[in-house]
Amino acid sequence: MKIKNKFLLATAGFLGAATVRNWMSTLDYQAAFYDRSADPIHPSFRGPAIFLQWHEYLALTFYLRGNCNTSMLISQHEDGELLGQAARHMGFSTVRGSSTRGGVAALRKIFRSGRALNLGITPDGPRGPRRRFAQGAIYLSSRLGIPLVAIGIGYDRCWRVTTWDRFAIPKLYARARVVTAPPIQIPPDIDRDGIEHYRKQMENLLNRMTEEAEVWAKSGGRYEKQVPLCREGIPIERRRAA
């Protein structure tokens, strides 16, 4: 069912954000970084960056990394307005558009604000195909001079929605694991062949990070340099020491 009434959209966005906060707060979060400075809450982070994850795992970063000076690229499709309302309640600003609908206007907004903001993109959204990396993020990185950061996510237990992305809803108290690749800067002024080359490279990388996180979550094992995370972005050991 499509919601077109603005008041109902705002209410649904607020309730959606509240549900995400309460539900996701029960999970056990651990992360592994190939480069710790890729985390926007780490003291060594030097942004801006374009953060990439598959659409099916959007709820995790929605919960963990709000209020990190990040804008989300959200489709102009009707469903995008609901997501945008919820995103704002979670501490994200939004840019509306995609590579197929309203893309030019969205890119202009990003060009104006991208150097002051991080950008969050689901490169297989808003309609898929699932885990198929679209070219838009490659173009943005090249034109804006902003590196790409691939974020792999996995749960040990979750439900899968029967949508194109098989959206993952973690079960209460599930293990949530995050594996983040080092930043990758796409060269400036690349041609179409170059864009396709890096598109394939980033698709393979994001799939590898995602598979690594999924295997880690299901195994219950440990990474040598894993970091426990909370929503505020402060490692638990630092919080206890404060």
Buried b (16+ CB within 10 A) or exposed e, 186-225: beeebeeeebeebbeebbebbbebbebbbebbeeeeeeee
Q: What is the DSSP string of 19-54?
A: HHHHHHTTSEEEEEESSGGGSTTSTT-----EEE--
Assess if residue 133 is contained within a domain: yes
Torsion sign, CA atoms 114, 119, 72, 26:
negative
Q: Rounded to two decimals, what is the model's pTM?
A: 0.86
Q: What is the DSSP letter of 96?
A: E
Give the mean model confidence (pLDDT) for residues 71-89. 71
* Residue type for position 113: S
Assess if residue 221 is contained within a domain: no
Q: Which domain holds residue 61?
A: 6-28+40-152+159-171+184-208
Assess if residue 137 is contained within a domain: yes
Assess if residue 227 is contained within a domain: no
More confident of the two residues 178 and 81: 178
Q: How far is CA 213 from the centre of its chain?
A: 14
Provide the total of helices (H) and of strands (E) in the chain, helices listed first.
7, 10
Residues 20-63: tens digit of each pLDDT = 888 999 999 999 999 999 999 888 998 889 999 999 999 999 89
Q: Which is nearest to 13 in space by CA: 55, 99, 98, 74?
A: 74
> What is the domain count for the chain?
1
> What is the reported pLDDT for 165?
93
Note if the bond before 170 is cis, omega within 30 degrees: no
Determine what percent of the chain is predicted with pLDDT higher than 70: 77
Assess if residue 119 is contained within a domain: yes
Region of 94 please: left (phi>0), alpha (psi -120 to 50) or beta.
beta
Give the integer Cα–Cα distance in Å for 53 and 234.
21
Cβ–Cβ under 8 Å, residues 152 and 210: yes
Assess if residue 220 is contained within a domain: no
Assess if residue 107 is contained within a domain: yes
Q: What is the DSSP string of 134-188?
A: -SHHHHHHHHHT--EEEEEEEESSEEE-SSTT--EEEPTT-EEEEEEPPPBPPPT
Which pLDDT band, with edges at 50, 70 and 90, does 209 fall under? very high
Assess if residue 225 is contained within a domain: no
